[in-house]
Amino acid sequence: MSSLNFRLSNPDMRRQQKAATLMTAIAVLGLSYLPLEAQNIIGTLKDASGQPLAGALVKVSSQELGLSFMVVTQGQGRYSTPNLLPGRYIVQGFGSDSQTPPMAPAEVRGSQPTKMDLALSIPLKLAPPRKRMMDADYAKLMPEGPGKNAVASRCATCHSLQWVVSARKTPEKWQETVGRMRDDLQGRDRPLNDILGESDLIQMDTMTEYLSKTFTPDTPLDPRVVEQRLLDVGGPSHPNRNLPGTLLTGAAAKYVAMEFSLPPGSMVHDIAVDSEGIAWVSETNTGGLGRFDPNTLTYTRISAPAAKNPNVQLNSVAVDPNGDVWVVDEGPNARMLQYNPKSREFSSYPIPGYPHAIPPDSTPARLVTLRFLEGNVWATGITANWIVKLDPPTRKTTEYPVPKGSSPYGLAVGGDQRIWYAAEVGNLIGRLDPRTGRLAQYNLTTPKSDVRGMAADAEGNLWVVATEADKLIKVDYRNGTSPSSVFFRQTPGRIQSTWIRNRT
């Protein structure tokens, strides 16, 4: 059984990346489905004194093939990679505070296993801990000029200023970004003046001009921003940033991690896995639905069906209980697409527009997360402030409004068969009864938590990511109107907990 994880950076950072990385964590060491002619790399790892070392890490990677595997040494320091495609691989060992010196690549030819013994002989070079910069710190990096204060104060309303100081765009792209921000605020069904203020509305053009002149494609990136991106979960990877400081034991030592580099320019937004272990991803840049087969390590791109507007922007993707793949085209075509992997055919369903767009119905509601319950497709409309239900046989959509300004993001079906959602801006967790339409809300005690992704575990409890608060929320669905919901934050020597209170 395998699970797949995809590392995402924020929208501006993703545009700068040349490739995305698909990561597969395989629960059983040595599991592989590659053709019989593919072979692996085996060997032993010893510490500086010559003693075999179990629980250390061995990484094999091929830049040419875009492949990388991480395995754990077992008894007597032995390690074995899954079957590999033929090619040259760099092999590295890591254990506690030591690592192997640079070595010549290992050649995998597809005949016999390649043997490579390792010895930890040099200090492990771990990146020193760095303090995370806050919005006030990023604002100090922004050059003075008309529009700076408006950008610093208003952009931080919805996201970190790191996004701003990291972005490099043409004037046309900045105009598009500021326009999208304006549309998002309008779509939250609140008067724009209530959010930006009359003076800031007048300064929209000034903000655009400031961004266009300050953060051009030719503007060098501040080294301090680059350093912060290394700390960001979605930022560029530091070679040793996530290595454990101790040897692994027990279940933690029984896994294989795998990376697969996608084609340049893929700009993947979301990922889902079907019952056969096939990973499906949405490519925003290309308008393609990507299919990754872990059995053969092959990636294929399926083009979305043509529409009136060629600007296809795929984002959310999910697999329904029947194995069909659903993906949202949030561009001007405003549609949900259903792909049947067996027939290789698409079905298209229109996305409802904003209830009070300016001009009326000019922009579709952005759907962020897809889930399935009793044959219906459910989605969060982040800009329209509603939960959407689609009945595929009748093609009918039903919209359930949530509090204005909530910006519902994550979505999950709890063990109570209710629809639960995370309100990113509203700073609350909501529960919708699909049969009655009744809505319950639960406030978070930490302000500006920025709750986003949500998923249900095997018991039906909900887990939510609080991005700004650096916390993980667990919601116990069983306690009805007063759920046992708790933040978990790991700190040195203790665990902090913050409970959610019922919103009346």
CATH (one of 3.40.50.720, 2.40.340.10, 2.60.40.10, 1.10.274.10) for 21-123 = 2.60.40.10
**CA 66, chain centre distance (Å):** 20
Q: Give the pLDDT of the chain (504 residues) as one tens digit per residue.
A: 233 333 333 333 333 333 444 544 333 333 444 554 558 999 999 999 999 999 999 999 998 988 999 999 999 999 999 988 899 999 999 998 899 999 999 999 877 899 999 999 999 876 666 677 888 999 999 999 999 998 998 888 767 888 899 889 999 999 888 877 776 555 444 444 444 555 556 678 889 999 999 999 999 988 888 777 655 544 445 566 678 878 999 998 998 999 898 888 888 889 999 999 999 999 988 989 999 998 888 899 999 999 888 889 899 999 999 999 999 998 788 899 999 999 999 999 998 865 443 333 445 568 999 999 999 999 998 888 889 999 999 999 999 988 877 889 999 999 999 999 999 888 889 999 999 999 988 888 777 788 999 999 999 999 999 887 778 888 888 764 333 333 333 322 222 333 333 332
pTM score above 0.75: no
Distances (CA, A) of 30 to 34, 255, 258, 453: 12, 8, 12, 31
Assigned token pair, 350: 């229109």
Q: Which residues contact 235 (CB under 8 A, 6 or more apart)?
A: 9, 13, 228, 229
Cβ burial of 365 (10 Å; 0-12, 13-18, 19+) is buried
- Rounded CA-CA distance 421/379 in Å is 9
265-503: in CATH 2.130.10.10: yes
pLDDT tens figures, 207-235: 999 999 999 999 998 888 877 765 554 44
d(CA 180, CA 331): 12
DSSP string, 428-479: EEEEE-TTT--EEEEE-SSTT--EEEEEE-TTS-EEEEETTTTEEEEEEGGG
Of 211, 216, 236, the closest CA to residue 225 belongs to: 236
Q: Which residue has the tokens 């489905």?
A: 33
> Do 46 and 120 form a contact (C-beta atoms < 8 A)?
yes
- Using CB atoms within 10 Å of the CB of residue 262, give its burial: 0 to 12 exposed, 13 to 18 middle, 19+ buried: buried
| Six token digits for residue 301 | 């791109």
For the chain, first and last CA: distance in Å?
A: 43
**In 3D, which of 257, 258, 259, 252 has the Cα closest to residue 74?**
252
* Residue 32 tokens, joined: 């592989």
Write down the pLDDT at residue 91: 97
3-class secondary structure, 206: helix
Q: What SS3 string covers 38-107?
A: CECEEEEEECCCCCECCCCEEEEEECCCCEEEEEECCHHHEEECCCECCEEEEEEEEECCEECCCCCCEE
For the stretch 433-458, pLDDT in tens is 999 999 988 888 777 788 999 999 99
Q: Where are the domains of the chain?
A: 21-123, 135-231, 265-503
Radius of gyration of the chain (CA): 24
Question: 434 and 440 in contact (C-beta within 8 Å)?
Answer: no
With contact defined as beta carbons under 8 Å apart, do 373 and 321 qualify? no
- Whether 191 and 233 have beta carbons less than 8 Å apart is answered as no
- Say what the pLDDT of residue 56 is: 95
Helix (H) or strand (E) holding 192: helix 192-196
CA distances 103 to 39, 64, 211, Å, are 20, 17, 46
SS3 164: helix
Query: Which residues, including other chains, have CB under 8 Å from residue 419's CB and lie 6 or more apart?
Result: 371, 373, 378, 387, 411, 412, 413, 431, 432, 433, 434
Write down the pLDDT at residue 240.
66
Distance separating alpha carbons of residues 470 and 465, to the nearest angstrom: 8
DSSP string, 319-377: E-TTS-EEEEE-STT-EEEEEETTTTEEEEEEPPB-TT-SSTT-SBPPEEEEEEETTEE
CA distance 144 to 447: 29
Q: How far is CA 470 from the centre of its chain?
A: 15
Rounded-to-integer distance, Cα 316 and Cα 306, Å: 18
Residue type, 131: K
CB 339 within 8 A of CB 289: yes
Structure tokens belonging to residue 485? 């919901």
Q: What gap in Å lies between CA 239 and CA 126, rounded to an integer?
A: 9
Whole-angstrom Cα distance, residue 15 to residue 310?
A: 19
